[in-house]
């Protein structure tokens, strides 16, 4: 789990597995075809699904890949093509092929690849630019799920997990696709409850289509039930091979969800991942389904910790029923092992059954689910891995930058020590060519588990990558991926077994060193507190096992809590207090020292500029009125005329002493026609100062015929017992003024920067 970098379980599984000799399956996998029954890019105002297809290429030849999307409503498949470079990973945004809709997918490659599908949902769409925004830029990424594809359709698929209703309002969907181009499939979806009940929903799928069965609707329609736990058994009764997945969501607004691909029955299941308790309040459930139509079976569920079997329970499962095993029932045994453990479920008589593991955290804030692994193997692959922040998932206006963390869980279920080589190939681009990445080798004692963290490798910081593993003996691999501050959401998946004959993974090449390109704004107050954005390339994580990304302005360091590495190109920083003057910006990231020489000036932007002689001020107002007669006429409805007068006064006299008085400092009054001139001592703050002169600049204001005007109202204002204040806040909210420059090139409104 995320908080455990190493769990040396010296006796893990030893007693339970002494009589079991784990071995890889004889049949070698063919990874040139992949199938998915679920997929969606539907979007409505305020809510949207986003879908990505992740392809990892562990070989030395380019992979020519065809993606065949099957629309849920039927019709002509949508076909896309791509080439995945050798030793690399590629992510594909499905919205470029399916702007909006539900689909199934068939992926065909000319070489072995690993393919996963990830789905995310929340308000707004991925930040790929305005063309992708749809209902608006992404403003949350509340949840997501991931599935490793299956390599061939089957006539039967099973799931141990399913639920409807309850306090969390669970909803369960069964997604079924028929990839055949010629034959219709007649399908029975069986819902088998924990109490021994059975519901059957019949579905006919024409060739090349996908359909969704909503379990909540089936239970309500057939037996009037709105709450149940169940297993799911999907069978093509006419023998046409199909693909099936299950998706579950809960809470209003779909605040959480997970998904899983169907599996076949097997006598033993392994899980390298499990957690109970801890700071995130993890809850782990093992779900068991007995598909036999006649015989009850006994299933032993073993939780393995540092001293071997921490807890073993046996569940008797009636024919065509399901049971739950909740790890939280034994806090003394399972919550004190660094909160993590491995799991093995096995039938005592060797009968096939189905096992899944679901993990929830923070009282169902989010959750993951995955079927187990039926046998260890020497080679494994994952197409998805992300470490750090990514502009794709970020909205510049949103302070939640949604950092990603990825963990690979490696279990050695044998009596022999195992050496495991992990190789990470990053997605090409932005300073990384095909084959770039990082690698590490770990040693696993007998019956032990370890967590491999990409954050330990600077080359993977703020990168997306595929991960491939080569072991000297059979092991089991899973991946857990989280995002958002405080583990907002996450998904998990078991790895794909790679053929034993797959060639040795090429050593990764280096990614480019980080660089800096600039800082905006480039000036701020000596008191500190200016929020600035530093841009560059290849920037690293803020904190990692080899060090931290540090920042300083000259000799003044920036506290760690005032630095946020948003992504590989952006650091957000709050400037520290400093003396006035020009300062270099120093950044150390991924162990590389960088410098922007003389890039930032500490100067209070609200300090007065040089004094100015009175001059022909009425002429300035008349000039703006001649250029913008409509703004003068509408000056009681909009404030553009007043803003333009202030801007022209600053240009004419080359000083920032000119500002606004907004109803004596109270913003929002539409009848405003007063500009201010700061008359205080040079170098003292102007903002909200009452040391100003007040000038009325519109004659007949709010009447039918307003005209240019200039009269000093300072004396009458003071005589009335009121005071004036200086501000430019309304102008600063508008880029036209915030980004304007004087003839000298200086910012016209520096206080807005």
Residue 554 is part of a domain; what is its CATH number?
A: 2.60.40.10
The better pLDDT of the pair 79, 635 is held by: 79
Q: Which of 74, 76, 54, 75 is nearest to 65 (CA)?
A: 54
Does residue 509 lie in a domain region? no
pLDDT for res 392? 86
Residue 233 shares a structural domain with residue 277: no
DSSP character at residue 727: B
Range 478-506 average pLDDT: 94
Residue 315 shares a structural domain with residue 274: yes
Model confidence at 12: pLDDT above 80: no
User: Is the link from the previous residue into 570 a cis peptide, with omega within 30 of 0?
Assistant: no
Strands of 43-113 (E only): list them.
Answer: 43-44, 47-57, 63-71, 78-84, 88-93, 103-109
Model confidence at 747: pLDDT above 70: yes
Alpha helices in 115-190 (DSSP H): 130-133
The mean pLDDT of the chain is 90
Does residue 723 lie in a domain region? yes
Which of 534-538, 655-659, 684-688 comes out lowest in average pLDDT?
Answer: 684-688
Does residue 267 lie in a domain region? yes
The answer to whether 674 and 668 have CB atoms below 8 angstroms apart is: no
Name, in order, each residue with C-beta under 8 angstroms of 556's C-beta and a sequence gap of 6 or more.
Answer: 576, 577, 578, 583
Domain endpoint, select from 441, 467, 497:
497
Model confidence at 664: pLDDT above 70: no
- Distance separating alpha carbons of residues 70 and 80, to the nearest angstrom: 12
pLDDT for res 622? 93
Band the pLDDT of 337: cuts 50, 70, 90.
low
pLDDT for res 131? 46
Q: With pLDDT > 70 as the criterion, what percentage of the chain qualifies?
A: 93
Model confidence at 13: pLDDT above 60: no
pLDDT for res 190? 98
Does residue 612 lie in a domain region? no
Which of 390-399, 592-601, 702-711 comes out lowest in average pLDDT?
Answer: 390-399
Residue 213 shares a structural domain with residue 137: no
- Distance separating alpha carbons of residues 143 and 129, to the nearest angstrom: 22
Give me the CATH number covering residue 176: 2.60.290.11
Residue 76 shares a structural domain with residue 192: no
Q: Is 623 helix (H, G, I), strand (E, B) or coil?
A: helix
pLDDT for res 166? 94
Band the pLDDT of 576: cuts 50, 70, 90.
very high
pLDDT for res 276? 93
Does residue 71 lie in a domain region? yes
Other CB atoms within 10 Å distance of the CB of residue 704: 6
Residue 247 shares a structural domain with residue 300: no
The better pLDDT of the pair 638, 319 is held by: 319
- Distance separating alpha carbons of residues 83 and 63, to the nearest angstrom: 5
pLDDT for res 609? 81
Residue with tokens 């963990």, as numbered in its chain:
407
Does residue 505 lie in a domain region? no
Tens digit of pLDDT for each residue in 264-323?
999 999 999 999 998 899 999 999 999 999 999 999 999 987 667 889 999 999 999 999
Domain that holds residue 140: 6-152+261-497
Residue 423 shares a structural domain with residue 563: no
- Distance separating alpha carbons of residues 431 and 429, to the nearest angstrom: 6
Range 134-159 average pLDDT: 87
pLDDT for res 364? 94
pLDDT for res 580? 85
Range 383-387 average pLDDT: 97
Q: Which of 81, 352, 382 is nearest to 233 (CA)?
A: 352
Range 65-87 average pLDDT: 94
Name, in order, each residue with C-beta under 8 angstroms of 77's C-beta and a sequence gap of 6 or more.
Answer: 68, 69, 70, 71, 208
Q: Is 403 helix (H, G, I), strand (E, B) or coil?
A: coil
Residue 253 shares a structural domain with residue 267: no
pLDDT for res 25? 40
Tokens read off for 293: 């139509």
Residue 470 shares a structural domain with residue 544: no
pLDDT for res 480? 97
Residue 174 shares a structural domain with residue 58: no
Burial class (CB in 10 A: 0-12, 13-18, 19+), 529: exposed
Residue 101 shares a structural domain with residue 227: no
Domain endpoint, select from 574, 602, 630:
602
Model confidence at 731: pLDDT above 70: yes
Residue 443 shares a structural domain with residue 433: yes
Which of 159-163, 338-342, 461-465 comes out lowest in average pLDDT?
Answer: 338-342
Tens digit of pLDDT for each residue in 186-228?
999 999 998 888 999 999 999 999 999 999 999 999 999 999 9
Residue 353 shares a structural domain with residue 232: no
Band the pLDDT of 336: cuts 50, 70, 90.
low
Does residue 503 lie in a domain region? no
Domain endpoint, select from 497, 531, 564:
497
Does residue 508 lie in a domain region? no
Question: How many structural domains comprise the chain?
Answer: 4
pTM: 0.84
pLDDT for res 18? 38
């Amino acid at each position: 789990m995320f908080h455990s970098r190493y769990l040396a379980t010296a006796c893990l599984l030893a007693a339970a597995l002494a009589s079991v000799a784990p071995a890889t399956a004889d049949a070698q996998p063919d990874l040139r075809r992949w199938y998915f029954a679920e997929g969606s890019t539907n979007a409505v105002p305020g809510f949207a699904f986003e879908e990505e297809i992740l392809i990892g290429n562990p070989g030395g030849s380019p992979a020519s890949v065809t993606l065949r999307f099957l629309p849920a409503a039927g019709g002509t498949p949508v076909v896309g093509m791509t080439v995945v470079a050798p030793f690399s990973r590629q992510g594909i945004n499905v919205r470029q092929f399916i702007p909006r809709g539900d689909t199934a997918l068939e992926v065909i490659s000319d070489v072995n690849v690993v393919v996963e599908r990830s789905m995310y949902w929340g308000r707004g769409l991925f930040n790929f630019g305005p063309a992708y925004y749809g209902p608006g830029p992404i403003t949350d990424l509340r949840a997501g799920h991931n599935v490793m594809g299956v390599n061939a359709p089957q006539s039967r698929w099973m799931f141990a997990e399913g639920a409807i209703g309850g306090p969390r309002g669970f909803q369960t969907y069964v997604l079924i696709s028929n990839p055949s181009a010629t034959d219709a499939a007649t399908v029975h979806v069986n819902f088998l409850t924990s109490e021994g009940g059975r519901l059957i929903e019949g579905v006919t799928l024409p060739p090349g289509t996908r359909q969704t069965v909503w379990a909540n609707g089936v239970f309500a329609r057939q037996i009037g039930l709105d709450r149940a736990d169940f297993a799911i058994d999907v069978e093509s009764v006419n023998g046409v091979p199909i693909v099936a997945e299950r998706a579950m969501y809960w809470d209003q607004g779909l605040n959480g969800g997970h998904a899983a691909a169907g599996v076949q029955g097997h006598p033993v299941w392994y899980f390298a991942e499990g957690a109970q308790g801890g700071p995130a309040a993890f809850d782990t459930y093992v779900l068991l389904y007995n598909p036999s139509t006649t015989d009850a079976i006994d299933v032993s569920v073993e939780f393995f910790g540092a001293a071997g079997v921490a807890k073993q329970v046996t569940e008797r499962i009636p024919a065509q029923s399901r049971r739950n095993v909740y790890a939280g029932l034994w806090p003394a045994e399972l919550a004190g092992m660094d909160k993590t453990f491995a799991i093995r479920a096995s039938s005592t008589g060797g009968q096939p059954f189905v096992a899944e593991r679901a993990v929830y955290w923070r009282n169902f804030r989010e959750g993951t689910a995955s079927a187990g692994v039926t046998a260890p193997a020497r080679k494994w692959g994952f197409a998805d891995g992300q470490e750090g922040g990514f502009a794709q998932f970020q909205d510049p206006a949103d302070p939640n930058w949604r950092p990603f963390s990825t963990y690979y869980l490696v279990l050695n279920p044998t009596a022999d020590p195992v050496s495991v080589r992990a190789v990470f190939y990053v997605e090409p681009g932005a300073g990384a060519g095909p084959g770039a990445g990082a690698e590490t080798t770990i040693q696993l004692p007998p019956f032990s588990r370890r967590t491999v963290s990409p954050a330990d490798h600077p080359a993977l910081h703020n990168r997306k990558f595929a991960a491939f593993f080569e072991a000297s003996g059979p092991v089991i691999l899973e991946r857990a991926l989280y995002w958002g501050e405080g583990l907002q959401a996450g998904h998990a998946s078991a790895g794909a077994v790679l053929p034993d004959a797959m060639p040795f993974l090429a050593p990764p090449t280096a990614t480019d060193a980080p660089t800096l390109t600039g800082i905006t704004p480039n000036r701020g107050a000596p008191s500190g507190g200016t929020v600035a954005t530093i841009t560059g390339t290849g920037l690293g994580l803020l904190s990692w096992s080899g060090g931290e990304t540090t920042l300083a302005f000259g000799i003044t360091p920036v506290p760690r809590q005032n630095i946020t590495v948003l992504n590989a190109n952006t650091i957000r920083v709050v400037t520290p207090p400093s003396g006035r003057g020009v300062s270099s910006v120093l950044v150390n990231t991924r162990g590389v020292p960088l410098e922007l020489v003389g890039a930032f000036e500490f100067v209070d932007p609200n300090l007065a500029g040089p004094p100015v002689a009175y001059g022909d001020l009425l002429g300035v107002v008349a000039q703006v009125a001649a250029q913008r007669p409509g703004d003068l006429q509408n000056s009681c409805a909009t404030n553009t005329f007043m803003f333009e007068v202030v801007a022209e006064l600053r240009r004419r006299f080359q000083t920032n002493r000119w500002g606004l008085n907004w109803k004596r400092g109270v913003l929002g009054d539409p009848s405003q026609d007063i500009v201010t001139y700061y008359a205080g001592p040079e170098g003292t703050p102007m903002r909200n100062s009452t040391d100003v002169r007040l000038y009325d600049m519109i004659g007949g204001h709010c009447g039918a015929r307003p005209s240019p005007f200039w009269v000093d109202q300072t004396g009458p204002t003071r005589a009335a017992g009121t005071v004036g204040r200086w501000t430019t806040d309304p102008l600063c909210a508008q880029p036209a003024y915030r980004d304007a420059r004087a003839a000298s090139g200086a910012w016209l409104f520096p206080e807005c920067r």
